[in-house]
Amino acid sequence: MNSVNLSYLVVKHKEAFQGIFSERDYSRKVVLNGLHSSTCSIKDVMNTSLPMIALQDTAEMCMQLFSSHKTRYLLAFDDNEFKGVITIYDILREAIQNKEMVFDKLVLQAFTDEQDAIF
């Protein structure tokens, strides 16, 4: 992961998605548990229970899933076929590129919520 500057690896078996193995998995499940990377099996420490999204889901839905599941990764599927991983950084980049649209919408929603509470 370090040599290619990645924070996670996708784990597959015969082209079937199995899970992801991240830097966080390594530090929390290997190092902190006193395991050694040369003897530890990836299947024992990889993450297999991440939230899933469909390709047509919105960036806003992704933000909600990141927040509610307290994760940095979402799995993208098209029907039952694994398509990729969406990271919290992907969504952050999208929000920054479209900041006027994203933040104007948030300000408008907060204002609307405030008005609803008053009246």
What's the pLDDT tens digit per position in 53-79?
999 998 889 989 998 998 999 999 998
Just give the CATH number of 50-119: 3.90.1280.20
Residue 9 has pLDDT above 80, yes or no: yes
The predicted model scores a pTM of 0.72
Tokens 């599927």 identify what position? Answer: 77
With contact defined as beta carbons under 8 Å apart, do 60 and 44 qualify? no
Category of 70 on φ-ψ map: left (φ > 0), alpha (ψ -120 to 50) or beta? left
Return residue ranges of the chain for CATH 3.90.1280.20: 50-119
Three-state secondary structure call for residue 42: helix
